[in-house]
A and B are shown apart, each in its own frame.
Chain A
């Protein structure tokens, strides 16, 4: 974990409503793991809270981080309006990350902006028998498929890319053909809940990357806590920023 002033190398559209930013951040890249995130200070003096953003890719040799950011509210809009040469203060890498050690076949599931951390997971853990399933609103929103290190099936909400379906449809079909050793998923809550249900019903190990609003992002303020359930039904709150953002699907309560 390091606090640095990272230089913006590029800041360009990646897909509709999505900006790709490449940062020169060698200290963070050197320690990075797939599924981790950075906490970015909005480069004005008005935003009190930083914005948590996942690592889509990192290059330890070049010292770069690649991010995919949806300019949604005022903070991400300011971040996405940066120009090459600008500097931005970032703390990272933060959180646990995905763990694909020992898995022969992994199915990766991403939805929308949640495809970004899944790209990082694929770079780290994809094998020949692995397969990715991406869901986008439509073809113009799609990204992350051309340089994928394993096969990708994409679906869309409007039918302009692949089948008009939820991403769980091709996932279920593929599981019917061949059971994976592990599923990794990131995306909107309903998608994660559906993937969790499939994984639990079929007894497939599964890691889900969660989002929650954050204060400190280092585990001190308890602002980002989510409900984590034990096998005996008891539960506790755990921190998305420090104990996550990646959690075992078995322990996450997607409804609490």
Chain B
């Protein structure tokens, strides 16, 4: 069996399969189904200082080969996570990635700092949130704003900092470069694509927030294209995600240049998706005669 392990920004992962933020909670529920130590890492539900209530129902719906969600970043707060969930997670043999967000540069920095004294292995900064000081435009939209927030947060981050990029931009490679120049240790992409769902019979929006984030296999071609484009521009590690459902899907992202991948929506279709994808990736490598999965990273042949 091929060696799936890797070193991601100095952190050892036993395989490149990471559960994506927001689809896996803090791992407790899935751990009742299988030992979550089977995974390379877990990116926990997006956290902020003081917590957040999130949006009213309905918060999600199915779309062709995908889904939309407007959970609204409901979370119990970084403080509660550190006290009640992190100690348990750290007993598992899995890299813990703290996905976090704020509402201003200050609160982003404070959030990163709150993790500094903890055993969290990496930080993942979600910059798809509206910047209250910039007319509500998300921090992750303009390259200057990506640079500014990454630069500021990096000074408060003790653990390696992953910047999670939004695909709702005109040229994602500019934002990837901005994150790298500002000192990001890695980038992850993509977050969800903004969409809506319409109930034509009631002539009403289905989601309580009107708009939601599209995920699942429907976004995979877009996500692959973006990872492929970014890999040509940046030298820091890339974590690819968006619609991964199988070991071959994971391999496709790695061929495009991702060192590791995250699995989100597929956990809903198949609650055992993450360990299955890890196993299938191993089988793919064996069939390809690859001894270490990292050998395939960025080896995609272009036309």
A residues with CB within 8 A of B: 1, 3, 41, 46-50, 75, 91, 212-227, 236-237, 242, 256
Q: How far is the CB of B86 from chain A (nearest CB, A)?
A: 16
Whether A225 lies near B25 (C-beta < 8 A) is no
Whether A223 lies near B69 (C-beta < 8 A) is yes
In the assembled complex, which residues on chain B have CB atoms less than 8 Å from the CB atom of A41?
Answer: 269-270
Residue of A whose beta carbon sits closest to that of B59? A223
In the assembled complex, which residues on chain B have CB atoms less than 8 Å from the CB atom of A47?
Answer: 62, 269
In the assembled complex, which residues on chain B have CB atoms less than 8 Å from the CB atom of A224?
Answer: 57, 59
> How many angstroms between the C-alpha atoms of A50 and B266 in the bound complex?
11
B23 at the interface (CB under 8 A from A): yes
Cross-interface CB contact of B45 among A48, A50, A222, A237, cutoff 8 Å: A222
Whether A216 lies near B60 (C-beta < 8 A) is no
B268 at the interface (CB under 8 A from A): yes
> How many angstroms between the C-alpha atoms of A41 and B269 in the bound complex?
7
Residue of B whose beta carbon sits closest to that of A220? B25
> How many angstroms between the C-alpha atoms of A212 and B271 in the bound complex?
19
Whether B25 lies near A213 (C-beta < 8 A) is no
Residue of A whose beta carbon sits closest to that of B23? A221
In the assembled complex, which residues on chain A have CB atoms less than 8 Å from the CB atom of B28?
Answer: 220
B residues with CB within 8 A of A: 22-25, 28-30, 32-33, 45, 53-54, 56-62, 64-67, 69, 71, 74, 216-217, 265, 267-272
Pick 11 A–B contacts, CB within 8 A, sort by A: A46-B65, A48-B217, A212-B57, A213-B58, A213-B60, A216-B29, A219-B25, A219-B29, A221-B60, A225-B59, A237-B53
In the assembled complex, which residues on chain A have CB atoms less than 8 Å from the CB atom of B61?
Answer: 213
In the assembled complex, which residues on chain A have CB atoms less than 8 Å from the CB atom of B217?
Answer: 48
Whether A49 lies near B268 (C-beta < 8 A) is yes
Whether B59 lies near A218 (C-beta < 8 A) is no
In the assembled complex, which residues on chain A have CB atoms less than 8 Å from the CB atom of B74?
Answer: 222, 225, 237
Q: How far is the CB of A88 from chain B (nearest CB, A)?
A: 13
Cross-interface CB contact of B271 among A3, A75, A222, cutoff 8 Å: A3
Residue of B whose beta carbon sits closest to that of A216? B268
> How many angstroms between the C-alpha atoms of A215 and B23 in the bound complex?
8
